[in-house]
Amino acid sequence: MKKFIYLLAALSLGFAACDKADNSESGKSNETESATLTITSGETMEVTHEGGSFEITYTLEGASKGAKPTTSCNASWITDLTVGDTITFYIPVNETEESRIAPILISYGNNHVQVIVKQLSKNEAALKASFFGGEYYGSVYSPGMGNYYLHLSDNGFNDKGYDMPNSKYYCLDLYGPLYEGPDGGEIKLPHGTYTLNTDSENRLWTMSWEYSGYRETNENGESYDPYLYDNATLVVDAEGATFECFIEGVEHRVRFNGEATIIDARY
C-alpha cells in the first residue's frame, strides 16, 4: 500500500513537470510568432567583381534578448555566413564573364526575408558616372598635341565648381590630337585609347601619371591628397567612355555614356 501511494505521488509530479514544459514551449512559440524581423540595410545588394566581406543589418522586434535569426544560402560563391548583431558573409573575386545572383534567406519563426545579392562581372562597370568633362588647353603644355584635363565623377560639381559631398572623382590629364575646329566651337575628346604614361615626357594618346589621380570626398565635400594610378586605360568611342585603373592593387571600372563636356581654356 505504501509503495502504491509513493507511485501515485511520483506520477503526479511527472504530470506536473510535463505541464510546465509544455507551457514554456508554448510561450517560446508565441514569442517567436509575434516577433518582427526587418532588414535595415536593404533587400538587394550589388557588389563589385572584386568581392570582399559584406554585412546585412537587421532588427528583431518582440523577440527575447539575445535572440538571433537563422540564415541559409545555396550559392557556393557566398561563404562564411555568420549571424551576430549583424549578418556577415564573404564573396570571392568573380572571374567569370557574367554577373551572378543569389538569395540569402534570413528567418526567425514565421518571418522569412530574402536578400538578393548580385555580384558584377569583370566586364560590368561598378560605377556609372553622371559627369565627364573639363578643360582643353591646346598645345600650351604639349607642343603638337592637345591637352584635355577632365574628370569622371558619379556626382560632378556644384554650381560654384566645387566637389560634391560623398562623391568619387577620377582626374584624367590626357594628350590627344589637336582640336582643329573654330574658336568657340564644340570641343570633343578624340576617340581612341589613352594609356597611363609614367615618363615625364608627354606623348600622344597617353595620360600623364603626375597630374592624374583619384579622390573621394566625405559628407562635407572634403578630400585628402589624391591617389595616383598604378595603371590606367581610357577608351573613348561613339557610345561614351570606359575607364579602368588600379589604385593600390584594387581595380576600378567607370562607364560614362555620351560625349564629354569640354570648355576651351586656351585663352
Give tens-digit pLDDT for 107-150: 999 899 999 999 988 767 568 899 999 999 999 889 999 999 99
Top-tier CATH class for 36-119 = mainly beta
Residue 114 to residue 125: CA distance in whole angstroms? 25
- Residue ranges of the chain that CATH labels 2.60.40.10: 36-119
Which amino acid does the sequence have at 190?
P
Pairing of strands 146-153, 131-136: antiparallel
Instruction: Quickly list DSSP for 201-215.
Output: S--TTEEESTT-EEE
Would the pLDDT of 11 be above 50?
no
pTM (two decimals): 0.59
Helix (H, G, I), strand (E, B) or coil at 107: strand
Match 584624367 to its residue by C-alpha cell.
Answer: 172
Give tens-digit pLDDT for 209-224: 999 999 999 999 999 8
Out of 16-20, 68-72, 203-207, 212-216, least confident range: 16-20
CA nearest neighbour of 262 among 141, 115, 147, 155: 147
